[in-house]
Chains A and B, each alone.
Chain A
Amino acid sequence: MTELKRVLHVEDDPSIRMVAGIALEKVGNLEVLSCESGQMALEKAVAFDPQVLLLDVMMPQMDGPATLKQLREILDVDSKLVLFMTAKVQQKEIDEYLGIGAFGVIIKPFDPMTLARQIQEHWKNFQQSRAG
């Protein structure tokens, strides 16, 4: 089982970016690359080589799903744990996320103290599903 280290977080809201960043780094002891847009994520993703793609859904210009689609062009996305972090969690919305390749959804608002644990849990499941 590969240890989880690097999380690419794409979020246009700076407050949330900051809170999530602290929650993952300080509480979860993870290495986080916070991007303020999909464009920025595309620029930095390859160099960072993330294990997890944590994407906000609603973003100006390029939204979460579009970013994921673009990332597929440059990354082996299938080997990454893809999670959408969003407040838009009506069932059909969740189905949509899963349909385009997300492994799970982190619901906003999230508990900063357990956020890292939630992601670790998904990581464990993701790795198991791939091994299976």
Chain B
Amino acid sequence: MPLDDKVTRQSAPLPPNEAARIKALQQLVILDTPPEQQFDDIVQLAAAITGCPIALVSLVDTSRQWFKAKCGLDATETDRGIAFCAHAILGKELFEVCDASSDPRFSANPLVTGTLSIRFYAGMPLLSKQGFAYGTLCVIDTKPGRLNDFQRQAMERLARQVVWCMEARLQHEQDAGVSKSLTSLLEFLPDGLITTDIEGNIKHVNSIARRWHGIDPATINRQEWPLYFELFDQSGKQRLALADTPLTRVLRGEQVKDQELIIRSKGQPERLMLCNADYLRDSQGRRTGAVVVMRDITANRDASRSIADKNRRLSVILEGTRAGTWECNLQTGAMELNDRWADIIGYRLDELSTLNVEMLERWVHPDDLAMCREALQQHLRGELPLYDVTMRMRHKHGHYVWVHDLGRVFEWGPTGQALKIAGTRLDISAMKQRDAEVASARNYLQEIINAAEEVSIIATDAQGLITLFNSGAERMLGYSAKDMVGKQTPAIFHLPKQVEQRAKELSSQYDRNINGFDTFVHEVRTGGTDTRQWTYVCRDGSLKQVRLSVSALHEGQGKLIGFLGMSMDLTRQLEAEESARVSIERFERAFAAAAQGMALLSVTGHWIDVNDALCQMFGYTREELLKIDLDQLTYPDDLNKDLQLVRQTLDGAISHYQMEKRYIDSDGALIHGILSVSLVRDSRGWPMHFVLQIQDISALKHMETLKDEFVSTVSHELRTPLTSISGALGLVCGGVLGEVPESMQEMLSVASNNALRLSALINDLLDMEKLVAGKMNFSFHEVDLTALLDEALITMESYAAPLAITIRRVGTAPARISVDPMRLGQVLSNLLSNACKFSPKGAEVKLEHKLVDNMVEVSVIDQGSGIPESFRARIFQKFSQADASTGRSKGGTGLGLVICKELIERMHGEIGYESFEGQGTRFWFRLPVL
């Protein structure tokens, strides 16, 4: 509707109570609601009674009038400035305008001048009890007019009716709200609730009752109930007839109090119900239906059943075990006991013949006495079905034993007083001991947690406030539990930057803002553990790398009560990793740069890596070499021995080995190498790969060959002239060429002896050289020792004869041994010639053998002067002779015994001697007998 300045000038003033009036109007919650029949009826009635074409229920809002009901008009509202009703609400009586065109307040009103052309208006204010005019009930005509008395009264009544309707409507809305919240309250009651109307039709079943029935019984036909649920009596044996159900009973007029019944429904455990039912009544006390309230008492029944079971079991145990029994006359205090009862506290029954309650109480542990008496009194008063007490009793020996008494009054007096009580007693010390042990183990575990110095254990409440700070945490962070618990959050020892960084990650991951304490626990709220590396800031400002595992703590019912964080200091581990990395790098550098050939070889024999030196040694490029099998590079004769060692290494018999091995290079030339192999195993001990090092000793081998040739040549070149010299002298001295003049004999003998000595010296030197270089080959044969000894005897006779020494064999026991016969002969001739040399003329040398355990011992015994004390330590050392001057006269190189020792040891034997100065010497060696 158009507005102009004139219109505003003609507007009605505001009522004096305008603000309160608007508030009252708003409280009706009626503005802008849909039309309602009761109001529409009233305006129709008003129009009919007044004969006006237009009738309205108009509510005057702050800046508009809004029509709750209307007839004869399309508009739903108009501006308050042009509203006739704005004038009408200023008074309490009917406001009547007979001809608006001649009324100066309305003549220029667009409602009057416009198409609507209002001439007549009569509005009755809609007054609340407090006197606020919500608006009007008004009638309008395009012709001037006036209401008669009847019409005026009708308007007043109708207006009162409108107000009543509006206020009743509000009340109804409010009631509906209350009823709605009541319904939802009932819906979530822990007790089951079912209501019916007075006919017994089910009206409402709350959610717990629906759950117990497996269905909402109101939604299905009564005949179909057994398909879903059935009701039984409390024994569970008798199906409950409809007539016996609580609701039916109530509606029949019975009182239903604490009726027990059982519901068995599909998909639900059997439930024992305690039911109470009553009528539902309306506000006037009329019966409108019935309600039953059901409580699930299944758990109570199970508990009482288990007590019954326990008692049954006890009686069985009583018969089976030697439980103590007792009976007490409560009037006299006299007691009757059995042997076992007495035995439990260390007495014989006859020692307790005078026992009464008073004495008995003196044996009860002082801390348990009051509890004991109270339990008895409770039982006697009927508050407890049993006298059930665990207590300590003093044993005859002074210590306390734990006993469990279970008793019951079995005789009552005529006035209901307890007369006699009887029961059993069990010795439960062992059980208590176990309990104590469990408790102590638990304590111990707690102590371990406390003492877990390496692990920091920190718990917080749900908001992050620290609730536990163990000694490991104290140690790791330098804060004391006292300063942390209940005072700080973990933020205090975290790097803010790191936490922010993590918070950002989480925020973007979950697409919402995550920060603060939530950063640590966001991912574990619903379970699981979040483990990651963090930096802790210790109290002294130092930083520690830790691995933190966070998990949520829940109460029994699953309610989150806090979080638990366990962290381990990674600093040392990271250092170890770093040092491992450095050593790997170092190895890699060493590997690449090594002057010697090196390679990594898989356990299956394939190259993993080779270094430059190895490539160079074999004359291949790296790429070529990696394609060639190591076996192909090996000189065929050397392959097997290597493979054997590889097997032993993989088996764990050896961890590494070294061998001389020949290889073939790219030109087909032979390479002599020393192969060193070690097997690298992982932390679990599984073989990972071999590390090979091959030292090229071809040049060395060449040198060795040269040396061998040199030694061979030199010995040959020396011996050839020596052969002539000693041979010639031998022949001369041997008289082969005729008698030697006496004057020459001595000189020839000197020459002959020295030629022999030179020869022996050369032989010994060669032997020594071979032994030192490990080159003396032994050709082992199984032989009879006695034959070898006899042979040695014959060989030595020509040596001994000129010295007038007799060699005597002692011992005949056969002994098979495995030796190199030539080398053993060498030892024997050495020992025998020594014995001859150092024996006085005409003396006897004994060559003896005997079996000692698994060995055969061969002794060469002389009657010489014995070995001087001072020399004994050096006897098996090179170039040693007791006395240089005598030694020379006796001949010899001083190498003989050293060679003997080496030879015997190489033939798996041992050598030694016994000597007493002035009484001769016994040299012996032992060899294993086959």
Interface residues of chain A, those whose CB is within 8 Å of chain B, are 13, 15-16, 18-20, 22-23, 26-27, 58, 86-88, 90-93, 108-114
Out of B730, B770, B777, name the residue touching A112 (CB < 8 Å). Answer: B730
**Distance in angstroms between the alpha carbons of A102 and B720 in the assembled complex:** 20
Bound together, the chains give a CA A93 to CA B711 distance in angstroms of 13
Contact of B708 among A23, A26, A86, A90 (CB under 8 A): A90
Are B727 and A109 touching (Cβ within 8 A)?
yes
Alpha-carbon distance between A18 and B736 when the two chains are bound, in angstroms: 13
Complex formed: what's the CA distance from A92 to B705 in Å?
13
Say whether B726 faces chain A, with CB atoms less than 8 Å apart: yes
Least CB separation from B728: chain A residue:
A19
Q: Max chain A CB contacts within 10 Å: which of B711, B728, B730, B779?
A: B730
B142 at the interface (CB under 8 A from A): no
A16 with B776: CB separation less than 8 A: no
* Contact in complex: A22, B737 (CB < 8 Å): yes
Bound CA span A20–B712, Å: 22
Interface residues of A, dominant DSSP? helix
Which of B711, B716, B720, B725 neighbours the largest number of chain A CB atoms within 10 Å of its CB?
Answer: B720
**Shortest distance in angstroms between A11's beta carbon and chain B's nearest beta carbon?**
10
| B809 close to A (CB within 8 Å) | no
Give me 17 other A-B pairs in contact (C-beta within 8 A), A26-B736, A86-B716 excluded: A15-B721, A16-B720, A19-B731, A22-B737, A23-B731, A26-B731, A27-B731, A87-B720, A87-B723, A90-B766, A91-B770, A91-B777, A109-B723, A109-B727, A112-B726, A112-B727, A112-B731
Interface contact B723-A113, CB-CB below 8 Å? no
Residue-by-residue, is B726-759 near A (CB-CB < 8 Å gives 1, otherwise 0)? Answer: 1110110010110000000000000000010001
Q: Which B residues touch A20, using CB under 8 A?
A: 727
Asked if B798 lies at the interface with its beta carbon under 8 angstroms from chain A, I say yes
Give the CA-CA distance A87 to B724 in the complex, in Å.
12
Given the known interface contacts A22-B736, A23-B731, A26-B736, the answer about A16 and B724 at a Cβ–Cβ threshold of 8 Å is yes
A-B contact pairs, 17 of them (CB 8 A): A13-B724, A15-B721, A19-B727, A19-B728, A19-B730, A87-B720, A90-B712, A90-B766, A91-B779, A108-B722, A109-B719, A109-B725, A111-B726, A112-B726, A112-B734, A113-B731, A114-B798
B529 at the interface (CB under 8 A from A): no
Contacting pair A88 B712 (CB below 8 A): yes
A88 lies within 8 A of B716 (CB): yes
- Interface SS of chain B: helix, strand, loop or mixed? helix
With contacts A27-B736, A114-B798 taken as known, whether A108 is within 8 angstroms of B719 at the C-beta atoms is yes
Q: Which residues from B are CB-within-8-Å of A16?
A: 720, 723-724, 727
Chain A hits for B759, CB < 8 A: 109
Contact present for A108 and B712 (CB under 8 Å): no
Q: Do residues B724 and A15 form an inter-chain contact, with CB atoms below 8 A?
A: yes
Q: Nearest CB to that of A19 among chain B residues?
A: B727
Interface residues on B, range: 20 to 34
B715 within 8 A of A: yes
Residues of A within 8 A of B722 (CB): 108-109
Let me know if A93 and B723 touch, CB within 8 A.
Answer: no
Complexed CA–CA distance, A113 and B735 (Å)? 10
Which residues of A are found within 8 Å of B716, using beta-carbon distances? 58, 86-88
Task: Point out the residue from B720, B736, B776, B798 that lies within 8 Å of A108, measured CB to CB.
Answer: B720
Residues of B contacting A108 in the complex (Cβ-Cβ under 8 angstroms): 719-720, 722-723
CB distance from A112 to the nearest CB of B (A): 4
On chain A, the residues within 8 Å of B770 by CB distance are 90-91
Contact A88 B715 (CB under 8 A): yes
Q: Are B728 and A15 in contact (CB under 8 A)?
A: yes
CA–CA, A114 to B756, complex, Å? 14
Question: Shortest distance in angstroms between A115's beta carbon and chain B's nearest beta carbon?
Answer: 8
CB-CB under 8 A from B723, the residues of chain A are 13, 15-16, 19, 87, 108-110
Task: Note all chain B residues with C-beta closer than 8 A to A18.
Answer: 724, 728
Q: Least Cβ distance of B419 to chain A in Å?
A: 116
Given contacts A91-B776, A93-B712, contact A113 B719 (CB under 8 A): no
Instruction: Report chain B residues within 8 Å CB of A23.
Output: 727, 730-731, 736
Residues of A within 8 A of B712 (CB): 88, 90, 93
How many angstroms from the CA of A112 to the CA of B256 in the assembled complex? 144
Q: Is the CB of B720 within 8 A of A13?
A: yes
Inter-chain CA distance A20–B776, complex, in Å, is: 29
B726 partner residues in chain A, CB cutoff 8 A = 109, 111-112
CA distance A91 to B722 in the complex (A): 21
Specify which chain B residues have a CB less than 8 angstroms from the CB of A92 in the assembled complex. 777
Q: Which chain B residue shows the least CB distance to A12?
A: B720
The residue on B at minimum CB distance from A58 is: B716
Listed residue (B736, B737, B755) with the most chain A CB atoms within 10 angstroms of its CB: B736
* B711 → A minimal CB distance (Å): 8
Closest to B766 in A: A90
- Among all A-B residue pairs, the 9 with the closest Cβ atoms: A19-B727, A87-B719, A15-B724, A109-B723, A91-B777, A112-B730, A108-B723, A87-B716, A112-B727
A19 to B712 Cα, complex, angstroms: 23
A26 to B718: give the CA distance in the assembly, Å.
26
Are A27 and B708 in touch, CB under 8 angstroms? no
Cβ contact within 8 Å between B736 and A110 = no
